Amino acid sequence: NATLRAELGRSTWKLFHTILARYPEKPNNLERKTLETFIQLFAQVYPCGDCARHFTGLLAKYPPQTTSRKAAALWGCDVHNKVNEKLHKPEYDCSKILTDYDCGC
């Protein structure tokens, strides 16, 4: 069902970008490993099978950048733009990613 898939996608991207926008500015090795493993497992459990397969391919080609909050958030923005491209959606301007997704919560 395409509507449910789109709704799930919107919810998921929101969580995904907010996690990256709140990731430590100077992560230690454990925090880096935690985020990297989380993203890999996320790609495995994501409920839309086609999406998960495509996303796993993107992760292999563009591995998560976890050296800093900014690197992680920009990486997340880039992979979302790759999905946008595939779906013929407009490109998002990644220069505003950290302010757009700062939940302060």
The binding site for ligand FAD (CB under 6 A) comprises 5-6, 9-10, 12-13, 17, 46, 50-51, 54-55, 77, 80-81, 83-84, 87, 89, 92, 97
Q: Which does 23 bind (CB under 5 to 8 A by kind): ligand FAD, a second copy, none?
A: a second copy
Min separation Cβ 2 and ligand FAD, Å: 7
Minimum CB distance to a second copy smaller for 13 or for 92:
13
- Residue 47: C-alpha distances to residues 8, 82, 100 (Å): 9, 19, 26
Min separation Cβ 98 and ligand FAD, Å: 11
Reduced 3-state DSSP string for the chain: CHHHHHHHHHHHHHHHHHHHHCCCCCCCHHHHHHHHHHHHHHHHHCCCHHHHHHHHHHHHHCCCCCCCHHHHHHHHHHHHHHHHHHCCCCCCCHHHHHHHCCCCC
Which residues of this chain interact with a second copy, rule CB under 8 A?
A: 1-2, 4-5, 7-8, 10-12, 14-15, 18-19, 21-23, 34-35, 37-38, 41-42, 44-48, 51, 103-105
